[in-house]
Amino acid sequence: MITHPKTEELAQAVALWIDQIRPSLDPRNAFLARVAVNVLGVVGRELAQGPAAEARAAGLMADLLGHEGSHAALNAELCSAIRAGGMTVETPGLLAALQTMARDQLAIDQPNYKAEGSL
């Protein structure tokens, strides 16, 4: 990966530019510009944290399902197992694994969101 600049720095540069021009925009576009800055925040965090989060999720799902696989394949298999009733809230380790996966994803999507039970 090229480092001068890194991809997340490119996203950060665009976000800073949007912040600079935001005061000159009409209310609707100023709102959308703020959303766009948030989008670039997600992109930046996903670049930085996404690979580790995905690897961890794949590891947790592999443990639950008893075999290795790609994140996409394991995720699809886990969904099918839950849908078919083969895995439920009583399945040992399931909720704990899902809790970790949800937290990792939320840390990318909305790090400031206060989830149920967090205060």
Partner 1 sequence: MTVDVPLALEKLAVRLGGAGASLDGAQRLSGGASMETWAFAVAGSKGREELILRRRSAPFDPENARSVSLATEAALIRATGARGALVPPVRHLCDEADGLGEAYVMGRVDGETLGRRIVGDPRFDAVRGKLARQCGEALVPIHATSPPDGLNLKVSDAEGELDRYEEVYRATGAERPILELSFQYLRKHLPQPVAPKLLHGDFRNGNLMFDPERGVVAVLDWELSHIGDPAEDMGWICTNSWRFGRPDRPVGGFGDYADLLAGYAEAGGRPVELSRVRFWQMLGSLRWGVMCLTMYLSWANGVEKSVERPMIGRRVSETEADLVVLLEQGL
Q: Which is nearer to partner 1, 3 or 118 (CB)?
A: 118
State in angstroms the smallest separation of the CB of 94 from partner 1. 8
Rule CB under 8 A: which residues touch partner 1? Answer: 32, 35-36, 38-39, 42, 75-76, 78-79, 82-83, 85, 87-89, 94-95, 98-99, 101-103, 105-106, 108-110, 112-119
DSSP secondary structure of the chain: ---TT-HHHHHHHHHHHHHHHGGGS-HHHHHHHHHHHHHHHHHHHHHHHHHHHHHHHHHHHHHHHTS---HHHHHHHHHHHHHTTSS-TTSTTHHHHHHHHHHHHHHHH-TT---TT--
State in angstroms the smallest separation of the CB of 85 from partner 1. 7
Q: Which is nearer to partner 1, 32 or 62 (CB)?
A: 32
State in angstroms the smallest separation of the CB of 4 from partner 1. 29
Q: Which is nearer to partner 1, 10 or 37 (CB)?
A: 37
Token duo for residue 114:
């206060």
Q: Which is nearer to partner 1, 5 or 115 (CB)?
A: 115
